[in-house]
Chain A
Amino acid sequence: MSQPTAPLISIKDLHKTYVRGSEHIHAVDGITLDIQEKEYIAFVGPSGSGKTTLLHLLGCLDNPTSGELKVAERTVYSEKAAMNERDLTKLRRELYGYVFQKFYLIPTLTVEENILLPFAFYCKPDAHKNAQHLADLLGISHRLNHLPKELSGGEMQRVAIARALINKPQILLADEPTGNLDSKRSAEISDIFSKLNQEEGLTIILVTHNPAMAKSAGRMVELRDGKLV
């Protein structure tokens, strides 16, 4: 690892400004940051400090107001160019998996179908194999034929994680994944994340309020008022 490789994600002087009436909210206010491949980075900071906004920008879910965003050496956003929605979708399919505080499972689909949901939109070979592997890894193999409403909160989040990983992404984005879980379940999810990072080499970008979980990340970055501290 002596050879310095290009960062997986690189942002320069990134801004996201919301306009609410006459008020301008600088949710992300000039952040410059590199994230390396296989890194496990955790963003912390008080509520309203801009963590979610930054995460969405890093995940190509939202467009910055200004600055530059490069992912896997592709320019997602710069002063000159912005990727169109179609390419963004392709990029997301290829590189990203997302986990949110709310699990957003489709209530009418079984656990297995929820995990395989991305393949309703595009195909990847060996999907079923990966599904089985993920289910085992996340300890939900016995739940595959259940509906989300029959699961506990911890199990639902595991399903959401499995769904996020089904397309074998390089980057897992997680916004307060344990926000709705008790401490025991949170610890379990935290362990899973560490394991995914160490054993599978997954790049993880995490936003959390959970200090224990933040500590397990390789790098912890604090935000305040849209700026790095």
Chain B
Amino acid sequence: MTGTSDTVLKVEGLQVSYGSIPAISSLDFEIKRGEFVAILGPSGCGKSSMLNVISGLLPPTRGVVEVDSRPLYDAGRHAPKLGYVFQAHRLLPWRTVKQNLELVLAASDVPRDQWEDNIDRLLDILHIGQFKNSWPMQLSGGQRQRVSIARALLVEPSYILMDEPLSTLDEVTARSLRQELSGIWARTGATIVFVTHSIREAVYLADRIIILTRGPSTVFENYHVPIARPRAYDDPRIAEVEADIIRRVEHAWGLDPIKQSEVA
């Protein structure tokens, strides 16, 4: 999509264990600048752990993770600009929505005179404009998650890590946000790693889907989505690809495929 093809994120022989219990057995993959990569894998296979390693929060037990050709864990102030939508929203409950967003903006390079506009625009896109001055406690789970998405996008990151960001939303809102996210990605050229349990969502959004095995995980397949953009969520080709992926993982994940597909 973006045309450039240089590798910006390299994961090599990544192993993650908690104590003596392995969560990720060995992962190898590369991600190119501006690529939209979705990660699919059964629950508990180590997807969140992988994002924590990529973000530099968790040191790998073995192996290397390089971002911009630097080992990430000790990148220090060279660490790349990152937006991370955690699986839990992680807002500060004693700050209003706006204050939560301003906190990260203050630590970013975004000029102060743009904050207000950027916040308003994003909250509108995410359909939560009226909650700007609310406490997180006053929001529903899905609304909080959207504030967390706004926070990740506001800092104008070159990498965006998203851990099931739309899983708490109703399907109508989720569809609208998928479309917005697709647009934001195309406009900003950010590199996105997107963990999801919805195969259709992955097919709709991603250039490539990295399918993991059951935990402790390895890469089961690098699946390039063969559908040109712009894509429509109801395009029958998306359903076809979804069915194809379900056929492939059915055996590897060893579960009833209907449960995994989360058919929208």
Co-assembled chains A and B: no
Q: Which residues from chain A sit less than 8 Å from chain B, CB to CB?
A: none
Q: Measuring CB to CB, which residues of chain B are less than 8 angstroms from any residue of chain A?
A: none
